[in-house]
Structure 1
């Protein structure tokens, strides 16, 4: 069988599973049999361009593209009144922070109703590449369990470069590795000013980040700061500081902390892991660090307020009446 067919088959399988589809459900969308889908996914069937186009439509994602892979365009035909109802997904920004925080936990983390969106998929690819067990349950919930030792030498650089959230892995990984590297977001040579808030916060924990070509080099010489003052009130930088403080011995007070919804969600998740945090929702957070985290924990991130505001705006602009459920 063709190696290209096998690669395409594996890609189709992965995207189908990301979409929460069984082979039978995918076959119905495609208008074919489950046995045909099985042959396609095993790379045992030659695929015409027409078939690939049908598969792309059924999955809602291009399998093969002739365009530049980094370009993304939308054509919007507006002027229509909308109606109906929609239920909000869990917050993407909270979920990616919790994915990073799951690396702290040597037990099993279950994220309920995780949003099935590209940034989450990319971070899951990174987690899998370094040895983390990742499994979708019933198409909506995530099961995550880190290995005894992370395989950072095998990190999926291409997936990591597609999300800026990778920077938050530093605050968790620093507790298990004294020196490591992670890629940074796709091709954009981020300078010190770009990650200054992360650098200044983590330096107070003895963590030093050097920006090199295409990667961050992190060296850890642990400190136990009683007080950490943020360089700026940034969400992901505050989350990195929280992850750093979670397993730093003693009490750490983080001042000028962001109090946005995703930071509060991360605080609540860390408390489920046994990390006591005072001042949630304020600009001053006091974190009581723990030596070890090994728990079986379930957590449901709050619904995404940005998504709710999007649909509120859409309804207002189009003079439509729609019902938005589970607003956060």
Structure 2
């Protein structure tokens, strides 16, 4: 068994540099399959979800060459679009391979989405958009098959704003014949990053960053070089850590514009924020006000930040409410936080955080990526030692999280193959 141990921190002070965005890297890596030539990507995070993508691409004939600061993907020898069910079950957005492979391979077989466990993630908007382009779906018990002899551009309106479906249909439309228009499309920075990358390869996409994308189909894509945008979600998590412990932090290699909604809420809660061109400074004395939050698609408050900010608000001097409009069942972390004394009241699609609570360390479990960072943040302000299982979920989205928090003065370590009653082992002894 593996777990993370975190001790209460007096304050956090220091600098961190943010790695490349997980939610940008994964679709861009998948999009490399559209090219006929090698692609070089920089600022790819070293996380387990990325390794799954590498394995899938290698398994269908592509080659991956990792360097110190870049990765080279050569998709020219891809010969298959059969994605093994075991691989797709490890990666929630494996469905991106449908959009990336369908035009060339004509038939894609893939298992159902895996990944985070916090409620249903329907693919109905993916199906709607891809069928409009000419795809045919056949659903089986453990997998589904998508076929299309030819993809033709269409005018598609998404019934709800969905980042996943926007990306998947966008990928499929690149090599489709004619014009495709995606309406009510997601505006996330990660969608914009993908569009910039695809245009570098020769795609013709207009409107990225708005709710209407216009894609003129092209015959082929060429190789290019691209650097992934910084991960706004990781940056926000480090900013929040200072609100819990007090102190100051400088978050470097970040695009402040991507975090304006989050920054506004942190300031409303009482934190001091200073923005630069590519950095954000945060200051806090640990004295916070309760705030009310409603999640939504970008540029609204991100659902992926709902979990970490819950931990921030537990110690606020008044109650807070969070309404989850994207994934109403995304409150598994609250059950774990209540084991530590948070006393969060759960209602359908929302949570009430009473505030003024002092947490105590306990055994808790991370059920998904963001729940994991939520529990680490809560542990920073909890009396005693907090032990977090589900380490594999945290590793799906955070690179070197133990080392980074340690550099900020946090007493944190990962434990493995040790006596769970012994919390005094040194890291070298644990890994020894």
TM range (shorter): 0.7 to 0.9
CA distance 1:220–1:307, shift in 2 (3 Å): same
Normalized per residue, which structure has more strand? 2
| Change beyond 3 A, Cα 1:202–1:192 | farther
> How many residues end up aligned between the 2 structures?
254
Contact 1:257 1:282 in 2 (8 A): yes
Residues 135, 149 of structure 1: CA spacing in aligned structure 2 closer, same or farther, 3 A cutoff? closer
> Which residue of structure 2 aligns with residue 199 of structure 1?
127
Measured after TM superposition, the shift of residue 303 of structure 1 is 0.5
Determine helix, strand or coil for the equivalent of 1:231: coil
Please state whether the residue corresponding to 1:203 is helix, strand or coil.
helix
Following superposition, the deviation at residue 223 of structure 1 comes to 4.2
Aligned counterparts of 2:209 and 2:164: Cα–Cα separation in 1: 15
Larger helix percent: 1
Partner of 1:165: 93
Q: Does 1:302 pair with 2:232?
A: no
Greater mean deviation of Cα atoms: 74-83 or 90-99: 74-83
The 3-state SS of whatever aligns with 2:95 is helix
Could you tell me which residue of structure 2 aligns to residue 106 of structure 1?
36
> 3-state SS of the aligned residue for 1:84?
strand
Cα 1:165–1:187 shift into 2, 3 Å: closer
Answering whether residue 60 of structure 2 is matched by residue 133 of structure 1, we say no
1:159 to partner: Cα distance: 2.8
1:151 is the counterpart of 2:80: yes
Partner of 1:54: none
Task: Name the CA distance, whole Å, in 2 between partners of 1:192 and 1:319.
Answer: 37
Residues 160, 183 of structure 1: 8 Å contact kept: yes
8 A Cα contact 1:253 1:287, kept in partner: yes
Mapped to 2, the partners of 1:199 and 1:268 lie a distance apart of 25
Q: Which runs of 5+ in 2 are unaligned?
A: 256-432
> Is 1:94 paired with 2:24?
yes
Q: How does 1:185-196 map to 2 (within 5 A)?
A: 185-186=113-114, 194-196=122-124
Describe how 1:11-160 pairs up with structure 2 within 5 A. 67=1, 74-138=4-68, 140-153=69-82, 155-160=83-88
Cα deviation for residue 74 of structure 1 reads 4.0
Q: Which runs of 5+ in 1 are unaligned?
A: 1-66
Distance 1:241 1:180 in 2: 14
After superposition, the Cα gap between the structure-2 partners of 1:178 and 1:192, relative to the gap in structure 1 and judged at 3 Å, is farther
Q: Are residues 257 and 183 of structure 1, via their aligned partners in 2, closer, same or farther at CA, if it must alter by over 3 Å?
A: same
Aligned counterparts of 2:246 and 2:116: Cα–Cα separation in 1: 40
Q: Which of 298, 321, 325 is the equivalent residue of 2:248? A: 321
In the other structure, the counterpart of 1:281 is 209
Deviation at 1:79, TM superposition (A): 3.2
Q: Note closer, same or farther for the CA distance 1:186–1:238 as it changes in structure 2 (3 Å cut).
A: closer
Moved more, 308-317 or 225-234: 225-234
State the match for 1:311 in structure 2.
238
In 1, Cα distance between equivalents of 2:77 and 2:61: 9
1:60-88 Cα deviation digits (max 9, x unpaired) = xxxxxxx5xxxx75443233312221100
Matches of 1:237 and 1:110, distance apart in 2: 25
Question: Would you say the 8 A contact 2:155–2:181 is kept in 1?
Answer: yes
* Deviations 1:27-47 (CA, angstroms, capped at 9, x unpaired): xxxxxxxxxxxxxxxxxxxxx
SS at match of 1:116: coil
Structure 1 match to 2:412: none
Q: CA 1:85 to 1:232, structure 2 compared with 1: closer, same or farther past 3 Å?
A: same
Q: 1:268 to 1:187 in 2, by over 3 A?
A: closer
1:248-287 map, 5 Å? 248-287=176-215
Distance 1:221 1:230, change over 3 A: farther
